Structure 1
Amino acid sequence: MARRNLTGAVDFAYLENFAANDAGVIEEVLNLFREQAGIWSSMLDASAEGWRDAAHTLKGAARGIGANHLGELCAAAEADGPQHLADVLHALDLVLADIAAYQHEQALQSLKTPR
């Protein structure tokens, strides 16, 4: 599959392998990540009391889907402080863009595949 529109923020081969190429599981995991990203992103502000908890939670979720760079940035924020939060938010945006492109590609592929 030609994933030429992706930035590389997510290692989809890792996710596909981890989910045993089960398209339904992959879709569900990515949808959950996208939904929760809205919650996490609003908490990734130095003035928010729970920003470190949000970074920790996002770190695990990111690594779980193969968004390793985002996971590393979250770890840096946890360890070094909120000065990394802008980088975390930027990386999260890239991950969400890649997920949207991946899901769009999967939808197009499903239209081409006979059932």
Structure 2
Amino acid sequence: MALRDLSGAVDFTVLEATTAGDDAVGEEVLGLFAQQAALWSPMLDVREEGWRDAVHTLRGAGSGIGARALAEACQAAEAADKTSAPPLLDRVHDALEAALADVAAYRHALMLKSLRR
């Protein structure tokens, strides 16, 4: 993975502005995002009692790193009723996977940058 693998699912200028360009803080925030994704993604199913909590949490986490498509998908799913939510939750899952792929590529680039110092 490398920066050339970024799909645009995450606008990392949002993260860089939030962290004032501090790579160590950026890495920590992205690590927390990945942990949140692992914790909440199994609940992206209306059969799970906390599905709405999952999309709400992922919406905030995605917004914080610049994953706009993820945040928008979460917002739509969160507003939906249980019967119309399943395809919206599929959209959340797809947007989350795209964001995680970009996060992995960006974190890899941060790791390589730290090795050069």
- TM-score norm. by structure 2 comes to 0.90
Gaps of 5+ in 1: none
Aligned 1:23-62 pairs, distance under 5 A = 23-62=23-62
Q: How many residues align?
A: 112
The answer for the alignment partner of 1:85 in structure 2 is 89
CA distance in 2 between counterparts of 1:36 and 1:78 reads 17
CA distance in 2 between counterparts of 1:110 and 1:75 reads 35
The answer for the alignment partner of 1:69 in structure 2 is 69
**1:16 Cα deviation after fit:** 0.5
CA distance in 2 between counterparts of 1:107 and 1:78 reads 35
- Determine whether 1:106 maps to 2:110: yes
Displaced runs of 4 or more, over 6 A? none
Secondary structure at the aligned position of 1:76 is classed as helix
| Cα RMSD for the two superposed structures | 1.3
Structure 1 residue identity aligned to 2:113: Q
The answer for the alignment partner of 2:10 in structure 1 is 10
Secondary structure at the aligned position of 1:4 is classed as helix
Gaps of 5+ in 2: none
Instruction: Indicate the percent of aligned positions where both proteins have the same amino acid.
Output: 55
